[in-house]
Chain A
Amino acid sequence: MIAELLGAATVETLFPNGISRYAIGGVLVGLGTVLIYLGTGITAGASTFLESTLSYVSDRERFQQFRFVSSRDWRVVFALGIVGGAALYALTFQSGLVTSELYASGNGGELRDIGGVTIWLTDVQPWRLFLGGVFVGIGTRIGKGCTSGHGICGVGSVSRTSLVGVVTFLIVAIVTANLVAAAGVVP
């Protein structure tokens, strides 16, 4: 229906890889959040893990707060679960063991076969990843959330704080990414 409204050519331009893998992936991200919420009442975000894990190695008062120390063990488990879930995807769809019309394999980066398992490696330069990571680490902690805390749980809660947070980082990220691309930094 959307295709009829916009015209197939426009949809092809805006969504060159279709929408099914994105929509299905998004629903699964939401379901993971909901499973934890149903059992525990916790609205889990991914970035508090950074500070709560630092409490294992730093005696600084900032990291020794009760909210970090009391949640650090399950946040490690949550993060390991995310790694493991993505690995399950890599073993199945990424490796071609399971295929579906709803899954478009996409392009960019490098696929490498290691003993029948296909791993994927980014071409984005390490300095971009590291420096970007530093900004992300600072920003998410000052800004009270990241793409999952604000973007999934906060938006799902219709929290005005989170909606403002998401709009802020989305606009700044769009400007930044386009400036970096315009400066000729690829990949």
Chain B
Amino acid sequence: MVDRHPLFMPLILLGGLVFGFGLGFSHMARPEVVLNFLTFDDLGLLFVMFGGAIVAGLAFWIVPRIRSTAPLTGEPYGRRLKSFDRNVLIGGSIFGVGWGLSGICPGAAYASLGVGNVTILWAIAGMFVGAYVQGAFRGASTASQSATPADD
């Protein structure tokens, strides 16, 4: 589909491996640990989130000052900036209900499968159902809004 550098996929895989190992080692892949954090029984998870954000933040800050584009894709180095609207609050709140009920988020769910927790397939199935339901709902509403101009 797209011509990619031969090292593109190996690097994605390596990044995923390190990312997943970290989620396992930190125990964030265990819903119990996340729930203990949210009920203030063990605040250690703060170090996972801030540790990860600081390491990523240093790279996002330093790398663009050294090089302008990424070697494997030619993409410009930038930061992850998304526009703000009320969806961030609505979606964030719905996400929070799910995270607080189950103790699981997407990346940690994939990692949980890796530590042998097959029970987490319930959560992964739920996430796909949720992503499909919102996609079907929003797709339909977007299509009806843009029906007239899209006819050209």
A159 within 8 A of partner (CB): yes
Interchain CB contact (< 8 A) of B19 among A19, A28, A103, A165? A28
Partner of A81, one of B12, B53, B106: B12
Q: Which of A1-38 touch B at CB < 8 Å?
A: 14-19, 21-38
CB contact under 8 A between A37 and B92, given known A27-B52, A84-B20, A130-B125: no
16 A-B pairs (CB sep. < 8 Å):
A35-B11, A43-B78, A81-B15, A85-B22, A88-B17, A119-B117, A132-B103, A133-B127, A137-B132, A140-B95, A143-B88, A148-B19, A148-B107, A169-B93, A173-B95, A187-B35
Scan residues 82-104 of chain A and give those whose CB is less than 8 A from a CB of chain B: 82-90, 93-94, 103
B129 touches A134 (CB 8 A): yes
**In the complex, chain B residues whose CB is within 8 Å of the CB of A132:** 97-104, 123, 126
A74/B75 in contact, CB under 8 A: no
Known contacts A63-B135, A106-B27, A139-B97; is-contact A133 B16 (Cβ 8 Å)? no
* B31–A37 CB distance below 8 A: no
* Contact (Cβ within 8 A) A43 B105: no
Q: Determine if A81 and B19 form an interchain contact, defined as CB atoms under 8 angstroms apart.
A: yes
Is the interface on chain B under 10, 10 to 19, 20 to 34, or 35 or more residues?
A: 35 or more
Total count of chain A residues near the partner, CB < 8 A: 131
Q: Which residue of B lies closest to A78 (CB)?
A: B16
B101 touches A131 (CB 8 A): yes
B59 touches A34 (CB 8 A): yes
Q: How far is the CA of A152 from the CA of B134 in the complex (A)?
A: 24
Residues of B within 8 A of A109 (CB): 30, 32, 117
Encoded as 1 (CB less than 8 Å from any A CB) or 0, chain B from 8 to 46 comes to 110111111111111111111111110110110111111
Contact of A74 among B9, B49, B132 (CB under 8 A): B9
Find chain B residues with CB under 8 A from A128 CB.
101-103
Which B residues are in CB contact (< 8 Å) with A145?
82
Closest A-chain residue to B56, C-beta based?
A156
Instruction: For the complex, give the distance between the alpha carbons of A122 and B35 in Å.
Output: 12
Expressed in whole angstroms, the minimum distance between the Cβ of A78 and any Cβ of chain B is 4
Q: Which residue on chain B has the smallest CB distance to residue A172?
A: B96
Q: Given the known A-B contacts A133-B127, A136-B102, A173-B99, are A77 and B32 also in contact in the complex, defined by CB atoms under 8 Å? A: no
**Least Cβ distance of B78 to chain A in Å?**
7
A residues in contact with B148, CB < 8 Å: none
